[in-house]
Chains A and B, each alone.
Chain A
Amino acid sequence: MSATPLLELRGIDKSFGPVQVLRDVAFAAHPGEVTALVGDNGAGKSTLVKCISGIYPTDAGEFLFDGRPVTINSPRDAAALGIEVVYQDLALCDNLDIVQNMFLGREKRSGLVLDEPTMEQMAAETLAGLSVRTVKSLRQHVSSLSGGQRQTVAIAKAVLWNSKLVILDEPTAALGVAQTAQVLELVRRLADNGLAVVLISHNMNDVFAVSDRIAALYLGQMVAQVKTTDITHAQVVELITAGRSGALGLATDSGNGGNGHGAEPAGSTSGGVR
């Protein structure tokens, strides 16, 4: 656990026309930790992720990456910083094999020709680094994989490029129990390998199983960002549905305060929103 977050957002505002979707949002992701981003439908989770990944420009606010202020104007900028997003619909080509999918759009070449052996080796190393043992052959088509295996390939694809921050959008939404466990184990391993992981999830069990911190969005406001060990299941649900839970979350009246839990180490963001 390090004191400086890998990615820190401060005061992010984002509106679509008259609708303000994100309001003065602060968010931090630390290397070696899984930060769960929770919130009800429409709370602004996806918008926040799209702002981080450069798909949407923000209206106001600052980005700090490794403590340095940065601007992210396009997905390319995000990728250059080492930010990779694994979207819910995975974006894999069924008619291509695992290696081909992992290198899609960024193929290794020697001269004009594709360098298949190098790509296959790199893919094998990446999967081995994630301790993935469930795929039979790297050359099988993605269409022949199970949901969990496909998720694994999508995550491995994101990790392949020495990324520093991996954002996973509902990685277990469509999976069965065993496969969910498999993917969560993989998510945990990513963080243990030193990456900063942001996990978007609706499933409280998943969140409590793997996350180190929980960030809760409520109607476009970051109502709390606390350590997982300092909060209960019920409190998180309250934060998601009502925006506050006891001392956590939004203040009762419109005033200031209602700041996050005192458990944060100095210098990191506690997500109290004014």
Chain B
Amino acid sequence: MTTTVVQKEGPAAVTARPTLGSHVRNYVGRVRGGDIGALPAVLGLVVLCTVFSIMRPSFLTAGNFANLFTQGAAVTLIAMGLVFVLLLGEIDLSAGFASGVCAAVLANVVTVLGYPWYVAVLAAVATGVVIGTALGFLVAKIGIPSFVVTLAGFLAFQGIVLMLMKEGTNISVRDDVLVAIANRNLAPTLGWLLATVAVAGYAAVQLLRHRNRSARGLVTDPVTVVFARIAGLALILGVAVFILNLERSRNVLVVSLKGVPIVVPIIAALLVLWTFVLQRTSYGRHIYAVGGNKEAARRAGINVDRIRISVFMICSSMAAVGGIVAASRANSVDPNTGGSNVLLYAVGAAVIGGTSLFGGKGRVLDAVLGGAVVAVIDNGMGLMGYSSGVKYVVTGVVLLLAASVDAFSRRRSTATGSR
């Protein structure tokens, strides 16, 4: 748990209550020791947003703010799945085209075969599960390096998308529900309601944990920190919902455009779900253990192969979700869905957010933060009129920067012994 970072005198002794000061000092100490977490991503976001806002005032509009979410959604969702694979120190290069295959299945089921949207969604996610199982089996049971297995997948899935697309034509997705995912917004009141529920839920979890721990005489975070966290979340959600509820339409008489994009609560729900799985269940704990020391995990009785297969299943399923969102946003699926930069943006998002390429370290939240950075770069550079050539180069440089921050912090933490 990241929440307990406080000092303690003796393990069993009733300990001095940590203060706000010691909490902050601890955090600074950890950052200096190389445990920087999501700090680079957050700083990067602030810097990028400031720069783009100054250079292009149109960056800082409600309309563009809403665009950021729909533009970054697919990559972020794929990155969330990739975090699981990266936690084991593996890689999934096929996630991009896996999302393409799943999107193609979705389009075929809903448009060509004419089934309802939920059947299509189920078929797409099931395709993701099958793909992930196959990849995981080849990696864990046959013992082929994940790099090779998923590189082969990258090529093969590209071909499968082409075949499903009848050699290059695209299939449109016209189903109302599917189109709504990335193109419609929640009613403003519903946005406020969901934000309130989220903050209340977070507050309840935090306060209950605090009360439970202090009742048992365990070390807790200072109450001020707990409240600061809750207030921070409330502030961020409040501002975001407020801005998204502003009228974004150029001409209100023609069409009104306001509210939180539907894809935002979808991402938020998956973020909560996977964070819960990673942080609060023994399955999640075992993923970290296998990523940290496979042999130790094996000796502790953890079924390492099963964990390895399962993370590929999660990754490909999340790729399927990303593919559905991409299909929804484009209103169609074409042979390039999930291709070109999607995979590298997704890997970049996870790494920029602070997930280590060396395994054992990372959170699902990293994918969301990193996905935001990638989306801001993509969006801001576009507004400034740079060609996609420049965008690729800049994103590549940012990915390299993030990877070197990862490598440096790792070196630093081996030197100082904290990680």
Contact = CB atoms under 8 A, between A and B. Distances in A.
Interface in B113-164: none
Contacts of B293: 91-94
Contact of B295 (A91, A127, A137, A141): A91
A107 B11 contact: no
A132 to B, nearest CB: 7
User: DSSP majority for the B interface?
Assistant: loop
Contacts of A117: 212-213, 216, 218
Interface residues of A, number: 39
User: DSSP majority for the A interface?
Assistant: loop
B88 to A, nearest CB: 12
B12 A128 contact: yes
Given A104-B302, A139-B5, A128 B285 contact: no
B285 A127 contact: no
Contact of A95 (B1, B282, B300, B361): B361
A140 B7 CA distance: 9
Given A104-B289, A104-B302, A137-B7, A125 B12 contact: yes
Interface residues of B, number: 42
Interface string B212-224: 1100101100000
A143 interface: yes
Interface in B1-57: 1, 4-13, 33
B419 A144 contact: yes
A94 B5 contact: no
Contacts of B292: 93-96
Contact of B11 (A105, A106, A138, A144): A138
B259 interface: no
A117 B361 CA distance: 23
A137 B219 contact: yes
B11 A132 contact: yes
A135 B8 CA distance: 9
Given A93-B296, A143-B413, A107 B8 contact: no
B12 A95 contact: no
Contacts of A120: 218
A105 B297 CA distance: 7
A68 interface: no
Contacts of A94: 292-293, 360, 419
Contacts, number: 111
Contact of A145 (B10, B296, B302, B417): B417
A165 interface: no
A36 B49 CA distance: 65
A120 B285 CA distance: 15
Interface stretch (A108-116, A184-192, A208-216, A217-225): A108-116
A114 B218 contact: no
A64 interface: no
B27 to A, nearest CB: 14
B300 A141 contact: no
B251 interface: no
Interface of B: 1, 4-13, 33, 212-213, 216, 218-219, 280-282, 285-286, 288-289, 291-293, 295-297, 299-302, 360-361, 413-414, 416-419
Interface of A: 87, 89-96, 100, 104-107, 109, 112-114, 116-117, 120-121, 123-125, 127-128, 132-133, 135-141, 143-145
28 contacts: A90-B296, A93-B292, A93-B293, A96-B285, A100-B289, A104-B297, A105-B289, A105-B300, A105-B302, A106-B300, A114-B282, A114-B285, A117-B216, A121-B216, A124-B11, A124-B12, A132-B11, A136-B8, A136-B9, A137-B4, A137-B5, A139-B1, A139-B219, A140-B418, A141-B419, A143-B414, A144-B33, A144-B416
Given A92-B293, A95-B419, A124-B12, 18 more contacts: A91-B293, A93-B360, A94-B293, A95-B292, A95-B361, A107-B282, A109-B282, A112-B281, A113-B280, A114-B282, A117-B212, A123-B11, A124-B11, A133-B11, A135-B11, A139-B219, A143-B414, A143-B417
